[in-house]
Amino acid sequence: MRIAFLTAPEGVEQVELTDPWRSAVDAGHEPVLVSTEAGEIQAFDHLDKADTFPVDEVVGEASAGSFGGLVLPGGVANPDFLRTDGRAVAFVKEFFDRGLPVAAICHAPWTLVEADVVGGRELTSWPSLATDIRNAGGTWVDEQVKICDHGPNKLVTSRKPDDLKAFCEAYLDVFAREAVR
């Protein structure tokens, strides 16, 4: 299965990109780095620059229909940038409109709030997003991983890098089950 990993050109938390990416590869999937600009993205280790990664597809040219699911890595700057880019928000919303599974960790639910897809859903995130999620009609929970099946698609969310092992296991399980339905 092809899995889209959506990031901004700068600001993604590296481990929240690389651990889920590696898990997808290990499970036999094809991760695809999608960004708002061609070239490379700059990842961060919290506030320090880390590695760069090549962009495979650009938002606006990519379609949710060519993927089996979407992963939204966190980092504070990454989703803050994505939620201000109309093409990125529309790309995220398209996954929900098509009933495809989505996984988001840490600050990534900010993009979900902007895409207006959290209403009626239970999800978790970095704690500072709790009010934003509630204001958008969602229910915030403080759990390592939350799988929500409200609506036509599944949403997997997690709080922080310490939760990555559980997040990767959960999103891969959900994506695999959704692929066979």
What are the tens digits of pLDDT across the range 63-84?
A: 999 999 999 999 999 999 999 9
Active site residues: 106
Q: How far apart are CA 181 and CA 158, in angstroms?
A: 24
Could you tell me the pTM of the whole model?
0.97
What are the tens digits of pLDDT across the range 164-174?
A: 999 999 999 99
159 close to 174: Cβ distance less than 8 angstroms: no
Show me where the domains of the chain are located: 2-179
Q: pLDDT at position 181, please?
A: 63
Q: How far apart are CA 179 and CA 100, in angstroms?
A: 9
CATH class of the domain whose range is 2-179: alpha beta
Query: What 3-state DSSP class applies to 34?
Result: strand
Strands 57-58 and 40-45, by their bridges, are unpaired
